[in-house]
Structure 1
Amino acid sequence: MVGPGRPQIVLFGSSIVQYSFTDGGWGASLADIYARTADVILRGYAGWNSRFAVKVLDQVFPKDALLQPSLVIVYFGGNDSTYPHPSGGQGQHVPLSEFTENMRKIGEHLLSLSDKTRVLFLTPPPVNEKHIQALFGDAISGRTNERCRPYAEALLNLSREINVKSIDLWTVIQQEDDWLNTCFTDGIHFTAKASEIVLKEILKVVSEPDWKPSLHWKSLPVEFPFTFGLANYLNLCDQELTRNKHLEPEPGTDRL
């Protein structure tokens, strides 16, 4: 690895994670915010469900790694929630009970990596069913908003049970005005507008005072001095600390 060593924030999930590093994506924006304070590492695998994720846990997150992540943001569930494939095989579908146990295994494995590793689950978001049908026809079938809901609810319940943070994307995105038309590129994946919603919710979580040591981007040390003692140098440190001010939670607002 390159140095100096920084906190690691790992994004682990399916296409909602893999595509988060596209232009305007929530992962790319998160990496930009933490550019001088932490490393944001992408481990996203389009098409995957929680069953695949469990199979690679020890490879992606080995317990004997010299440096363990400070935060792992996990997203699975959208593919799990699809209807079983009409041919008789399950396809991407994972039954709700198995999905819950898979996510429990993921959460408990990540929590065991170190005393300082935090875990944040993202629930399955809603979908625009008409948009999916218009673009894909029968090529993508069985993905509905109502199918996503119980998977989101199960993940929220599990999060409370194993004491990890969670963000209810299924609810928060549907609170956005005209969400059906503004939040999806294809009925499933996020526009820049939806990614901004996800990003702001993540920043609310990392700013919570019960996370000690704090992983909020303003609280982490900025790597290397900006000026090296040069007189009359532009105060880039102040600029760095204020450039993302628009993403800070409004005073008095609470996370869902």
Structure 2
Amino acid sequence: MFRILIIEDNLKLVQLLEDYIQRYDFETFAVKNFESVLEDFKRFSPHIVLIDINLPKFDGYYWCRQIRKHSTCPILFISARDGKMEQVMAMENGADDFITKPFDYDIVLAKINSQLRRAYGSYASNQVGGTLTLDGLSLDVGRLLLQHDSDKVDLSHTEVKVLYELMSQSENVVSREQLLEKIWDDEAFVDDNTLNVYMTRVRKKLSKLNIQEALVTVRGQGYRLIPNWGNRRNKK
């Protein structure tokens, strides 16, 4: 049974969410003490998190960052803030998706199932597997890890899928449509700007491995990963 942690201070909405979600055999836990969100997360060990932006004490962005220090489980924001900036901030702070209030409960359930399939189910295991290596850059899919020389950086499930597509087709242009198709099985619900956010996150992860300017945007077409890090290492 999958466990879903709900971080939301609207008690009526929490009750409605739990009633609906539990019909489909999910186990839920709703945070009540908003000063100990991380403790509840560690204790409950959820497979997925639903979180609002506006919360007592600290906002959802803060708690998203704290959770990301300990887990790569899918995090879905649920918020009445429907501006592009709020959605971008959610993604940049580690979220996997954004649901705007008021929402259709069927869409919430569809997004939950979609994230669970990508993170834990057959979709995740069948799409990519093992370790992919490109000129000394190693992507460990199972461990959600990217390594170059002795440096390592942790990845989210979605970042793994982005890098897998780019590394497996290095130096070729990978279209935006192709990335969306491979990464999101519910593409109709995804704002195109979400991909921009993930590409920024992938660039940041590469930069932590001292890999700069390898991920190139090809205007009007997509993205290309150029394995230039080997040449730079040889020049040292």
Per the TM superposition, whether the score is higher than 0.5 is no
Greater relative contact order structure (CA < 8 Å, 6+ sep): 1
| TM-score normalised to structure 2 length | 0.43
| TM-score normalised to structure 1 length | 0.40
- Could you say which structure has the higher strand fraction? 2
